[in-house]
Amino acid sequence: MSEFVVYPAVDLHRGKVVRLRQGNLADRTDYALQPAEAAARWLSAGAEWLHVVNLDGAFGLEDAENLAALRSIVALGGRVQFGGGVRSMEKIAFLLDLGVERVILGTVAAKEPQFVAKALARFGAEKIVVGIDARDGVVRVGGWQESSGLSPKDLGARLAGFGLKRVVFTNIARDGLGAGLDVEGARRLAEVTGLEVIASGGVRGLEDVCRARNAELGGVVIGRALYDGNLDLEEALQC
């Protein structure tokens, strides 16, 4: 079994830390913490990785403030997994040069699977992750606003054939609601494709983290449960 990793999330909108409900930018919670402050809090609690999302990039908005926030986070020294609006080789190279450890591809992976094959060949499987975000069994793209027409297992299997190693799977219907992690969906995706699956969306508390660990998933992304105080990160890391 691969190492199980807990990824505290730092979602960025206009350079600030926010959490969305079901990917809706208009239905969000803004937090007073600065991005570097949030990142430092999670790292000091023992996290080795951070899951940083450029929401403005995902929605096709100006993202200079988020990239500035990313620089401040990377400077702290933790390992960063970053995604949101990454759709070119130049952007991947820029992010890796900036100090990002892994780059997450989303929309481009569903629309242009061959792009993933080229990225893997150029940067290696340890540097490229694909975000598979699904609602009602269909992968959503473009900031979750569009249907790709693909199922998670079909997209995952195709990308695994290119040598992809790892995906972040989000059940959009649960994201940001504390409705409970879709461990079963993530596990099925892992079983069908052979990919290492990091589960995301809807973590309610410690039980979800332990369920993901026991299901032999690659890890779990935790956002709102940490920021709202419903889950202690140190306890989650001990799971």
pTM of the model: 0.94
Q: Which fold has domain 5-238?
A: TIM Barrel (3.20.20)
Catalytic site residues? 11, 133
Residues 132, 141: Cα–Cα separation, whole Å: 9
* pLDDT tens per residue across span 100-120: 999 999 999 999 999 999 999
Task: Kindly report, residue by residue over 34-57, the tens digit of the pLDDT.
Answer: 999 999 999 999 999 999 999 999
Which pLDDT band holds residue 213 (cuts at 50, 70, 90)?
very high
- Write out the DSSP string of 129-142: EEEEEEETTEEEET
> Is residue 97 pLDDT above 90, yes or no?
yes
191-209 burial string, b = 16+ CB within 10 Å, else e? eebebbbbbbbbbbbbebb
Among residues 112, 203, 187, 100, which one has the least CA distance to residue 152? 187
Q: Give residue-wise pLDDT tens across range 152-189.
A: 999 999 999 999 999 999 988 776 555 789 999 999 99
pLDDT tens track for 124-145: 999 999 999 988 888 988 666 7
Per-domain boundaries in the chain? 5-238
